[in-house]
Structure 1
Amino acid sequence: MTEGIVLVTGARTDVGRVREINEDAVLAQHPVFLVADGMGGHEAGELASAEVVAAFQPLVGRQDVEPADVVDAVAAAHAAVARLSRTHARGAGSTVSGIVAVVQNGVHSWLVVNIGDSRVYRLVGSTLEQLTVDHSVVQELVDDGRITRAEMSTYPGRNVITRAVGDQSSAADYWLAPIVTGERLLVCSDGLSNDLSDEALRAGLSLGGSAQQTAHGLVDQALARGGRDNISAVVVDVRSGGLAQRADEVTGGFATSAEATVHTIDIDTHTSERQRARRD
């Protein structure tokens, strides 16, 4: 809960039907809701995703998180996974994607963060929107018009990512989004989004179950479709305290309200007070 904003959450992670180790890790404790998908083979991927979660753990329970605090957490995750990578012959890395309830200029918002190809979606009414943009080879092919979005989940090499936690040159992307009463957000690893189409995700999120039931149901659907990868889902419902949905939102999105627009912010180059203090 943040200053009257009431959230209900649910989370599930599963090894899937093919992999022997679950390299996904989730954090679903206010104000941080994220999924990390580790890579590196053997125990390295599992350890890498755990390091990402550990880097964000200090934000849990706080009501005063600012965007700079999230930048600090990303920097800490990069450093921890880089140290881990140096101890493994094949290296180690992770994705991270999630939402953090932050305060900026006295306004409470979601800060969406992404490195890699885990994803954040938002359901408002009957409209599902992907808030993140994948850092992957197939996303670049879609951007270039060489394949369609529908072909992403089956394209050879779909799991090749272009940014990863642990690679200091892999900057995170950030977006500020309004916290809207009645919205439902999904944070998931690619094990879910590769097995379930956008329409299947929208339908699963719209069934009316609780956040926990929905997280379990989505993972069950991915398992039924083969469970080729580790599968993780975090579902967040905004029950009250956010911006009110408006009558003009019948087709989804925020058609006219500037305050309710999801927009990219460039905070990766900002230096927080703590970062400056550490250098001084």
Structure 2
Amino acid sequence: MYYCCGVTEKGIMPHNEDALLIKDSVIDSGSAEKNVDVPFIAAVSDGVSGERSGELASRMCLELIRDMGYSSDMKLDEELLAIHRKLAEYSESDPEIHNMQATLCGIAVDENNNLLTFNVGDSRLYRYRGGRIRQISRDQSLVQLLIDEGAITSEERSTHVHRNIIFPVFGNVKSAPQIDTVKLEGGMEYGDLLLLCTDGLSDYVSVLDIEEVLEMPKPLQARLDILVKKALDNGSKDNITVIAVVYYE
């Protein structure tokens, strides 16, 4: 069994272009927590800023994932690419929502407890183990490419002029996304916590701050609420969504 909890908050924005999925529940406002058995998927999605109907894209993306009925028999990357095509085709049917797009980051756990991670865009997956956070996903963004090439440092990421430029994501009508789907190296051990979040959190709350909050002797849902408040207090100008996943026997 797994315990999952999450929260999605519009912050200072007029509406929420983020959404989260925990097994069979898609949420675009407020919080949720539940114990879930395998198989299941947990994911966050962020409607791309500047594109039309980002809130529709993120919710529709997660609803399609929820409805696909994940199991070990599936080729997850192919199923996710099919969902991208459905979003792109749907957006081309109506000028009002043309080219609606969304990032996607999540985990898929099959009936045998095998855990795959998947990512498109700049939402993130972290693993918290032994009091330390490690980023598992890799940002699909221009600044990450510049960091990889040594052109800028990681510390320059948050202030770089091109920090909001990401590679093609779900629903892009011109280019298909590159879906990073990999088995979680090292799996999950007792005491591990997986943290999924959109950039409204990761751009405004440091890894050290995340570690400090996760160490607090408080219920997990309360710790997520504290992370969201920290992002807002630090000036987050985006929607904020975060999910925590813990395994227990």
TM-score w.r.t. structure 2 length? Answer: 0.84
Q: What residue in structure 1 maps to residue 33 of structure 2?
A: none
In structure 2, the gaps of 5 or more residues are: 24-35
Q: How does 1:191-202 map to 2 (within 5 A)?
A: 191-202=200-211
**Cα 1:42–1:140, aligned 2, differ >3 Å: closer, same or farther?**
closer
**Aligned-partner Cα distance in 1 for 2:176–2:197:** 24
Structure 1: which amino acid aligns with 2:87? V
Q: 2: distance between equivalents of 1:40 and 1:201?
A: 25
2:198 pairs with one of 165, 189, 192: 189
Q: Using the alignment, how far apart are the partners of 2:47 and 2:91 within structure 1?
A: 11
Paired residues of 2:51 and 2:101 also in contact (CA < 8 A): no
- Count matched residues: 228
The alpha-carbon distance between structure 1 residues 208 and 9, as it changes in their structure 2 partners (threshold 3 A), is: farther
Q: Is the 8 A contact 2:99 2:171 kept in 1?
A: no
Counterpart position of 2:3: 8
Distance 2:221 2:50 in 1: 30
Secondary structure class of the residue paired with 1:113? strand
Give the root-mean-square deviation of aligned CA atoms.
Answer: 2.0
- Length-normalised TM-score, structure 1: 0.75
The change in CA–CA distance for 1:234 and 1:175 in structure 2 (over 3 A counts) is: same
Which residue of structure 1 aligns with residue 88 of structure 2? 82
Match of 2:235 among 199, 209, 226: 226
**Equivalent residues in 2 for 1:54-69, closer than 5 Å:** 54-58=63-67, 65-66=71-72, 68-69=74-75
User: Deviation of residue 237 (structure 1)?
Assistant: 1.4
Structure having the higher Rg? 1
Over the matched positions of the two proteins, sequence identity in percent amounts to 31
Give the 3 Å change call, closer, same or farther, for CA 200–67 of structure 1 in structure 2: farther
Shifted more, 30-39 versus 134-143: the winner is 30-39
Deviation for aligned residue 1:239? 2.5
Q: Which residue of 2 aligns with 1:175?
A: 182
Aligned twin of 1:94: 102
Deviation at residue 72 of structure 1 after TM alignment: 4.5
